[in-house]
Structure 1
């Protein structure tokens, strides 16, 4: 017995424990059948713990059972909610376990867990909200929350949700929503009065009011692409430099290679320094270009460093040459900050070579002619 959830980041299939938790599964299946979950967002995403959804109000306080929906005029709360359905064999042992969140009072769970999963004071009851675990062996949830299913397909989709950026209340800044629910197998007869819509209904205005950053909206930066790339490289270089400092490869993290040097990798072994010089000289004056070779064998190590006179010429070469085919190889171009250790070794060998002391690498160094126009 299964349900397919189509979310804004991919599809997930839930297999249900219809024998162990029949009332809970009936409630969930019929809610899916009447499209109650359509447009519900994941309003509580706690990384490597769990993700919660099923509340049309996106507050963690809404949602009701299928029986409450069928009898809107009833003031009997027992129709709006269902009692928890705990089976001794169903545990929160594995990542991808699906359980109902509690709506109602204390079930004996500790305050922290109640707060996380939506429990308030009173006897434990369930409505429409459910959560999916993203960790193994959450045994402190056993006996308190109704396990009724497990993820059969789509764990990679859950990992995307798990990695979402959230605010202090654990709601993702950019909405992640259930788009559609498809009941793949339903063993239960429909309750009296259940009306299945012919097509998915449009979200109500109240649901539209819950939108923050729509799941279909692109978050556009106000910065130009070049500035974004510069900031990205700067942050990446700082992080790698700190790592090198911690392992002892740099005396202090602020040391960094110059920004006018490109690192070119995945070269064809047949590619020579003069080949790279000819190709890259279209972007500006090249001060040096070295294909790194093994000292003993003379074989190319398939990477090189290219030093430009100006940083802006170096940046232009980076943007236009990355992933370009050179000698039937799609080269990778990056700034030397991203390979600080290799750049440091290159500089040491370069200086050593000028003094006659290079031992491991042979650097092909050539004088560079003026850049050629119209390559």
Structure 2
């Protein structure tokens, strides 16, 4: 019935456990949502009643979490899979919300690999006693994957995922279609169809029945993702599939993972900027500075600056020294006026002999200068606040005393 109201359209596969199973059926996309068809009907009717009572014309949002009919009980009405079935590929199994009994709803999982020695569903729920383990290792069967000519389960099993199991690419159920529905519709199902914008299409001709069955001839609006979805969107699987060229799949998966890691780094940088540990989330190493290492300890700043002045007369060299002894730490930074001059020096000065040492030249990755500017400005601001924070008189007396001396 949830398929009939297009409840699964474009919902995410939000958890993939390699070699075991994938989880789906939650419109929120984080494993905390979903409802039974009875909870959905109840939530929609409740919303309509509230709208009528408050004389509001705008449709009220649906909150299935408040419905007492949200879940189905883990009763004898379900067929439970046997222990031997737990290692089979393509099993469709109902799941409990956070492993709490009697919380069967729209969420389910599909076993995606049956070749391993371990059963795909083993250890899904931790238990402390043998009796609890035997009780918890019972799973309600919803069906089985009978055809997979394109190897979709294998593709899901091979996807790159983050630490929580969510794929780096958004994989969605395009649509769940019904081939045969022998069950009567629950009361008020038409209200759900109307609310979700699902309409019966004109009957299709059929040699056997004379017309198309109503669950086959459904028409519904398209949406890119459920309105209940709360997780951040990632790369679209359709776009990725269009770019894939067969043998390059593994490479493109690595590129997608690298792109996601860059986004994570950007998010961390924003947090550090908010905490004051980074001047700016967009700060980058300067493109006109070279890093020089493996210097001879006797090489000084003037020698290095003279050496690189052939590329830029205004080049500035700074050898990093021990703050206590003043000895050279045998590496330096050279700053140029333009990036072009910096690039030319990089290509011509790498592995050059300087004072009997073959130096190494690379582009600088340091943001130390920007950081020093930031900290100096912050300290200067703090000193100004202290001077204007009630200690101005004392400061004035010290300045007068200094002039008097």
TM-score (norm 2): 0.40
Q: Which has the larger radius of gyration?
A: 2
- More helix, by proportion: 2
Which structure is richer in relative contact order (CA contacts within 8 A, separation 6 or more)?
1
